[in-house]
Amino acid sequence: MKKARTKASVGGDAVATGLAKIGLVLRHQAWQAGETSGLTPTQSQVLAVVLASPEGWLGVSEVARQLAVTQPTASDAITALERKKLVVRDRAGHDARVVRVRVTTEGRRRSRESAQWPDALLKAIDELDPVERGVFVKGLTKMIRSLQESGRISTVRMCATCTYFRPHQHPGAQAPHHCAYVDAPLRDADLRLDCQEHELAGEDVRPKLWQVFIKGGPSGEAVSPGAWPAMPTKSRGIRS
């Protein structure tokens, strides 16, 4: 007898199909942008992850880890970028065994060009109202965390794992969360999935952050700042 499908699996199929279709648009755009910029999608991603690193350089194995590709694949892409004079490799002053990959000025320019989101995708996102966007971003955060936990993607610089994130600090407000970096409230739609200011919260804090983010604070109460272990507070702007 054919097994009855559960409600969740039916919804799951629709979400997976939708994501696959959006993925097709992004892949198509990445190859199209590559025809103009002369970069493959992997080469564009190498430029993006090296530029996003706080030190301004990454080792080859870290590039491979962040892109979830093998070291030879990352190495091939870096060699191709080096030939195009978009990255340089040198040795770290403190440890000559470490080879650093840095992006050149031209590489920075080309990365900016190839990092544009397709207009059609931006127009499609505009179709969502702020509430729908908030639900979508929260759902994406959950999925990305699950993929991260299962080792399918590397650490994502998202609010839900950030030391500055205070989930449900303002219960009942339109913007219930708080970013202690900019000292400002955040709506679900404001949550970041790739924030340059992200600092990974300690291992002991992350499960609690997640729990409060998903389940909310104690009924209608703000989660008191004292409820968190010592976590830093800053008041600065966030780079986009």
Which CB, 76 or 197, lies closer to ligand SF4? 197
Among 49, 103, 164, 169, binds ligand SF4 (CB under 6 A): 164
Select from 39, 78, 103, 179 the one that contacts ligand SF4 (CB under 6 A). 179
The answer to whether residues 163 and 201 touch, using CB atoms and an 8 Å cutoff, is yes
**Comparison of 111 and 141: residue with beta carbon closer to ligand SF4:** 141
Q: Closest separation between CB of residue 43 and ligand SF4, Å?
A: 27
Determine how many CB atoms are found less than 10 A away from the CB of residue 97.
Answer: 7
**In the complex, minimum distance from the CB of residue 217 to ligand SF4, in angstroms, rounded to a whole number:** 16
Which of 137, 162, 201, 223 is in the footprint of ligand SF4 by CB under 6 A?
Answer: 162
Q: Which range binds ligand SF4 by CB under 6 A, 35-43, 74-82, 86-94, 156-164? A: 156-164
Q: Which is nearer to ligand SF4, 63 or 160 (CB)?
A: 160
Per-residue x/- track, 11-40, ligand SF4 (CB under 6 A) = ------------------------------
Radius of gyration of the chain (CA): 20
Sign of the Cα pseudo-torsion (215, 220, 222, 223, in order): negative
Is the Cβ of residue 110 or residue 166 nearer to ligand SF4 in the bound state?
Answer: 166
* Nearest distance from C-beta of residue 192 to ligand SF4, angstroms: 5
Is the Cβ of residue 57 or residue 165 nearer to ligand SF4 in the bound state? 165
Dihedral angle sign, alpha carbons of residues 215, 221, 226, 232: positive
With beta carbons less than 8 A apart as the criterion, state whether 64 and 73 touch.
yes
Q: Please say whether the beta carbons of 77 and 103 come within 8 A.
A: no
Angle, CA of 164, 153 and 63, to the nearest 5° = 90
Asked if 74 interacts with ligand SF4 (CB under 6 A), we say no
Site for ligand SF4 (CB under 6 A): which residue of 81, 103, 159, 212?
159
In the numeric block, which tokens belong to residue 38?
């002369």
CB of 203 to ligand SF4, least distance (A): 17
Q: Do 104 and 86 touch, CB atoms closer than 8 A?
A: yes
CB-wise, 16 or 200, nearer to ligand SF4? 200
Residue list 191-230, contact with ligand SF4 (CB under 6 A): 192, 195, 197-198
In contact, 64 and 49? CB cutoff 8 Å: no
DSSP three-state, residue 35:
helix
Q: Are 189 and 174 in contact (CB under 8 A)?
A: no
Which 8-state DSSP code applies to residue 166?
Answer: E
Residue in 26, 39, 42 with CA at minimum distance from that of residue 114: 39
Q: Which residues bind ligand SF4 (CB under 6 A)?
A: 159, 162, 164-165, 179, 181, 192, 195, 197-198, 238
